[in-house]
Structure 1
Amino acid sequence: MTPSVDSPPVPPRGRRVQQTIEQLRGRILGGEWPVGGRIPTEPQLVTALGVGRNTVREAVRALVHAGVLECRQGSGTYVVSTDELAPVVARRLTDDRMAEVVEVRRAFEVEAARLAALRRTPEDLVALDGALAAREAAWRSGRVAGFVEADVALHTAVVAAAHNGMLAELYASVGAALRSTVAYVTGDSLQPQRYVDHSRLVAAIRDGDPGRAAIEAGAFLEPLSGA
Structure 2
Amino acid sequence: MTPSADSPVPAPRRTRVRQVIEQLRARIADGDWPLGSKIPTEPQLVDAFGVGRNTIREAVRALVHAGVLECRQGSGTYVVSTDELSGAVGRRVADAQATEVVEVRRAFEVEGARLAALRRTPEDLAALDRALAVREAAWRAGRVADFVSADVALHTTIMAAAHNTMLAELYASVGAAMQITLTDSVAVGGELTPDRYVDHGRLVEAIRAGDPIRAAREAGAFLEAPDGA
Counterpart residue number, 1:37: 38
1:215 to 214, 217, 220: 217
What letter matches 2:38 in structure 1? G
Give CA-to-partner distance per residue, 1:99-157, whole Å, 9 cap, x none: 11112211221221122112211122122223334444544555555543443332222
Overall identity of the aligned pairs, in %? 70
Give CA-to-partner distance per residue, 1:15-45, whole Å, 9 cap, x none: 4422221122223333444552332425x54
Q: TM-score, normalised by structure 1?
A: 0.75
The answer to whether the 8 Å contact 1:101/1:177 transfers is no
Q: Does residue 194 of structure 2 align to residue 191 of structure 1? A: yes
Q: Which structure 2 segments of 5+ residues have no match?
A: none
Say if 1:181 and 1:119 are closer, same or farther in 2 by CA, change over 3 A: same
Counterparts of residues 23-172 of structure 1 (less than 5 Å): 23-35=23-35, 36-42=37-43, 45-46=45-46, 48-74=48-74, 76-94=76-94, 97-141=97-141, 144-172=144-172
Measured in 2, the distance between the counterparts of 1:218 and 1:20 equals 43
Q: Secondary structure at the match of 1:82?
A: coil
Q: How many residues align?
A: 220
What letter matches 1:166 in structure 2? M
What letter matches 1:190 in structure 2? T
Q: TM-score, normalised by structure 2?
A: 0.75
Measured in 1, the distance between the counterparts of 2:131 and 2:47 equals 47
- 1:205 positional shift: 1.0
Measured in 1, the distance between the counterparts of 2:146 and 2:47 equals 47
Q: Which moved more, 1:29-38 or 1:161-170?
A: 29-38
| RMSD over aligned Cα atoms | 3.3
Q: Secondary structure at the match of 1:101?
A: helix
Measured in 1, the distance between the counterparts of 2:75 and 2:182 equals 37
Say if 1:9 and 1:78 are closer, same or farther in 2 by CA, change over 3 A: same
Give CA-to-partner distance per residue, 1:34-74, whole Å, 9 cap, x none: 552332425x5445435454333211110122233333445
Say if 1:41 and 1:132 are closer, same or farther in 2 by CA, change over 3 A: closer
Q: Secondary structure at the match of 2:224?
A: coil
Counterpart residue number, 1:205: 207
Measured in 2, the distance between the counterparts of 1:184 and 1:208 equals 32
Which structure: larger Rg?
1
Measured in 2, the distance between the counterparts of 1:68 and 1:103 equals 25
Say if 1:117 and 1:76 are closer, same or farther in 2 by CA, change over 3 A: same
Say if 1:10 and 1:114 are closer, same or farther in 2 by CA, change over 3 A: farther
Q: Secondary structure at the match of 2:39?
A: coil
Say if 1:172 and 1:40 are closer, same or farther in 2 by CA, change over 3 A: same
The answer to whether the 8 Å contact 2:93/2:178 transfers is no
Measured in 1, the distance between the counterparts of 2:199 and 2:177 equals 21
The answer to whether the 8 Å contact 2:68/2:82 transfers is yes
What letter matches 2:204 in structure 1? V
